[in-house]
């Protein structure tokens, strides 16, 4: 850290890399203790690293380094919790519970992804996939709606999934 204060980028990089795991462990541990899920840990860790960079002049070499770094981590963690609590308080009470339990953004993102992938399927296959996998109809209900047998429906879905998997592979 002292070398980093003097402008040694290499030393600072090594320092941040060695801090990364223990700090992540600390943040994630505290989050789970407080009943949050650990998904925010990486974001908070990044904020902590940025703060260590921005406030590197506040480290006093006469003092121990660990309490300084963890002091910053603790502050950023509490700051994050305060902000998310404020955001939660702004929602009406009935929806607050839902928001807390389901990963809303994650669900939205995967829905968007799924719709995009569905668009590349042939029309029969697409309708079958959408009804069964996204809208939650049973295979029997969907098969009836299309006027085909359940077995044929299963084949359509199987083909659709295969095509989507192939498309995903191509993309990545």
Partner 1 sequence: MQTSELIEKLSSELRPVDRRIVPHVMLAALGIGTLLAVATVCLAYGVSLDLDHSDDLGLLVLKLVFTGSIVLITFSALLKLARPGQANRMGVALVFVPFVVIALLAAPNLMSVPDAWRNGATIGRAWPECLLLIPAIATVPFALMIWALRKAAPTHLKRAGAVAGFLAGGVSASAYALSCRDASLAFVACWYTSAIAICAVLGALLGPRLLRW
Which residues of the shown chain bind partner 1 in the complex (CB under 8 A)?
4-10, 12-13, 16-17, 20, 42, 45-46, 49-51, 53, 55-61, 63-64, 66-72, 74-75, 79
Give the residue with the Cβ less far from partner 1, 55 or 162.
55
**Residue 60: CB minimum distance to partner 1, A:** 6
SS3 assignment for the chain: CHHHHCCCHHHHHHHHHHHHHHHHHHHHHHHHHCCCCHHHHHHHHHHHHHHHHHCHHHCCCCCCHHHHHHHHHHHHHHHHHHHHHHHHHCCCHHHHHHHHHCCHHHHHHHHHHHHHHHCCCCHHHHHHHHHHHHCCCCHHHHHHHHCCCHHHHHHHHHHHHHHHHHHHHHHC
Nearer to partner 1, 66 or 95 (CB): 66
- CB closer to partner 1, 54 vs 111: 54
Minimum Å gap between C-beta 21 and partner 1 is 10
CB of 20 to partner 1, least distance (A): 6
Measured from the CB of residue 106, what is the shortest distance to partner 1 in angstroms?
Answer: 18
Nearer to partner 1, 72 or 117 (CB): 72
């Amino acid at each position: 850290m002292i070398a980093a204060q003097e402008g040694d980028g290499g030393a600072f990089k090594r320092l941040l890399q060695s801090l990364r795991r223990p700090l992540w462990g600390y943040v994630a541990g505290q989050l789970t203790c407080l009943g949050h899920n650990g998904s925010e840990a990486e974001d908070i860790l990044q904020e902590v690293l940025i703060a260590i960079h921005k406030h590197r002049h506040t480290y006093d070499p006469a003092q121990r380094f660990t309490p300084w770094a963890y002091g910053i981590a603790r502050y950023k963690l509490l700051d994050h919790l305060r902000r998310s609590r404020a955001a939660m308080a702004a929602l009406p009470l009935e929806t607050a519970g839902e928001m807390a339990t389901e990963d809303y953004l994650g669900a939205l993102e995967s829905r968007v992804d799924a719709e995009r992938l569905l668009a590349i399927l042939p029309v029969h296959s697409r309708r079958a996939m959408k009804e069964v996998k996204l809208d939650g109809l049973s295979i029997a209900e969907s098969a009836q709606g299309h006027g085909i047998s359940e077995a044929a429906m299963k084949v359509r879905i199987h083909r659709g999934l295969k095509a989507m998997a192939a498309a995903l592979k191509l993309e990545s």
